[in-house]
Structure 1
Amino acid sequence: MINIRAAEDRGQADFGWLNSRHTFSFGSYYDPNQMGYSALRVINDDTVAPGAGFSTHGHRDMEIISYVTQGTIEHKDSMGNIQSLPKGEFQLMSAGSGITHSEYNASTTEALKFLQIWIEPATKGGKPSYQQKAFAQAQGLTQVITPNGDNGTLKIKQDASVSQLYLAPKTELILPVALTRKIYIHLIAGQLQVNQQTMNPGDGAKISDQSELTLNNNGQQATIALVFDLP
């Protein structure tokens, strides 16, 4: 089964300094049919005004992924990390038993755009940790997050993986899928056909009971997406 949800059907929150589109129920947005997918709990598509940001706040028992699509995040946390996260890099913060952090738009003139993603960990508690890395934008699928941190990937506390999908115009990828797994695709840029169903930027696809996916870019620009392999 492949269930595609259009970008415009997502929840929305506008605080002036922050405009966010919520794939799943979050904050004041509640939809009993959109409470997450498997261990994937949050995908917020955030736009932060110049010079603005999230002041210090806390999390626990959550794997928090940030992926910047425009601009740079200035990050500080209670573990002592002071980092800049530019466009195209991945950040994975394991909140564990508890962590506080802040995130700000490094620019005073341009908006910051990034995806904030939460995945529930397999076990609660534990020592918080921070990871950050840039991955090459190679044709096809590039694993960026895995349960064991294999091949230089970021390590997550869940039986889940995240891959970056890049398809040049007029190219195709065949993706084998274990029938016991769930797949979620979030399209960032370009156009994507998943078994001949069309996705546009901001769309999400819940996929289950599929042994193979045919991914096509029939457009004129590169396709960029995140592919989640979930328990």
Structure 2
Amino acid sequence: MHVSRRSGTHLFPLALLEDSIVSHSTSKDLYKAPRTDISQNQGKFRIHFNFPGRNHPTHDDHGYGPLSAVVESFMDPGTLIRMHPHQNEEIISWVPTGVMRHDDRDGNKLVTDQDHLMIMGAGSGFWHAEETLQDDPPLRMLQIFVRPHSLGLPPTIQHEGIPDPTPNEWRTLFGPEGTDNALTVRNDVFLHDIHLADGASVALPTQPDWDTYFYVFEGSIEADSRSFNEAESGLYVGGDELRLSATADSIVVAFVINPAAPITKQGTIGR
């Protein structure tokens, strides 16, 4: 089983990723993982893989239910990732910093930035390229891989403007297909983000019988009397309220996940 995340001809084998061990710190129903050491450096393009299932010490899957991976990606100005294929995965591009330019074989030319979100439902097969121009700012983004409920679905692409963030309030960016969200994925995952000011506190999004994985994109927070710094993550499987308190201006993403959702594991990357 291999990851075919491509820049030119480079491949990153998923077997190597799965063999890496994440250290865990558990308290009650909150499982913490440190900054990942699973990375690939291709010079102007650098990626860091976060696997939510690795937060839990007894979980035997690198993913957690429908959420396969959260990949922190960096592209320098003037970088092209040539046309390459994906299958059987939902790929979400969340871009709080910089500009990501998308091209595909269907003729779509789209720009994703802090005001837009893009979701590619690769389904039976989808080819695309990514680029930053020489005069674009450096790009730092998350590419999120969701496992669809079924194989061979029709390829789709969604690219929509998103509401301006309200300080210290969660913003919902996508939800499962069939919900009233403007952007959807084909399995049971919600994505929320928040810009949390230093000293502010907020409850983590939860839903009965679902679990929540959060990732600190910027800044630092405390939860359950423990610190989570930039690029660290937590998996919360408890039913009670869990509060996040910022110890610096922070940006946090939270995925509310149905761990019992039917999943497939044949994505190009998000297996």
**Fold match (TM-score > 0.5):** yes
Q: Cα distance 1:149–1:190, how it changes in 2: closer, same or farther (>3 A)?
A: farther
User: Cα–Cα, structure 1 residues 176 and 129, in superposed 2: closer, same or farther, change >3 Å?
Assistant: closer
Cα contact 1:5–1:204 (8 A) shared by 2: yes
Aligned residue pair count: 222
Aligned match of 2:80: 53
Within a 5 Å distance, the mapping from 1:35-184 to structure 2 comes to: 35-108=62-135, 110-133=137-160, 134-138=162-166, 139-148=168-177, 150-175=179-204, 177-184=206-213
Deviation (angstroms), 1:165: 1.9
1:52 partner letter? T
Tell me how far apart the structure 2 counterparts of residues 158 and 38 of structure 1 sit (CA, whole Å): 10
Q: Which residue of the partner structure matches residue 30 of structure 2?
A: 2
> Secondary structure in 1 aligned to 2:141?
strand
Distance 1:68 1:177, change over 3 A: closer
* Alpha-carbon distance in 1 for matches of 2:60, 2:134: 37
Seen in structure 2, the aligned counterparts of structure 1 residues 229 and 152 have a Cα distance that, compared at 3 Å, is closer
* Equivalent residue in structure 1 for 2:49, among 22, 28, 44: 22
Once the two structures are aligned, what percentage of the paired residues are identical?
Answer: 23
Partner of 1:28: none
Deviates more, 1:117-126 or 1:171-180: 171-180
Q: Quick check: 181-190 or 105-114, which moved more?
A: 105-114
**C-alpha displacement at 1:150, in angstroms?**
4.5
Q: CA deviation at 1:214?
A: 0.9
Aligned with 1:201 (options 219, 222, 230): 230
- Measured in 2, the distance between the counterparts of 1:173 and 1:113 equals 25
Structure 1, unaligned runs of 5 or more: 26-31
Q: Secondary structure of the equivalent of 1:35? A: coil
The question of whether the paired residues in 1 share the 8 Å contact of 2:93 and 2:118 is answered with: yes
Q: 1:53 to 1:69 in 2, by over 3 A?
A: farther
Please state how far the C-alpha of 1:33 moved relative to its aligned partner.
Answer: 6.8
Name the CA distance, whole Å, in 1 between partners of 2:66 and 2:48: 20
Q: TM-score, normalised by structure 1?
A: 0.87
Q: CA distance change for structure 1 residues 100 and 178 in 2, over 3 Å: closer, same or farther?
A: same
Contact 2:94 2:141 in 1 (8 A): yes
Cα 1:210/1:43, change in 2 over 3 Å: same
Distance 1:148 1:33, change over 3 A: closer
> Deviations along 1:46-96, whole A, 9 cap, x unmatched?
111221131101111101011123221110112321111123532111111
Does the aligned pair in 2 maintain the 1:179–1:209 contact within 8 Å?
Answer: no
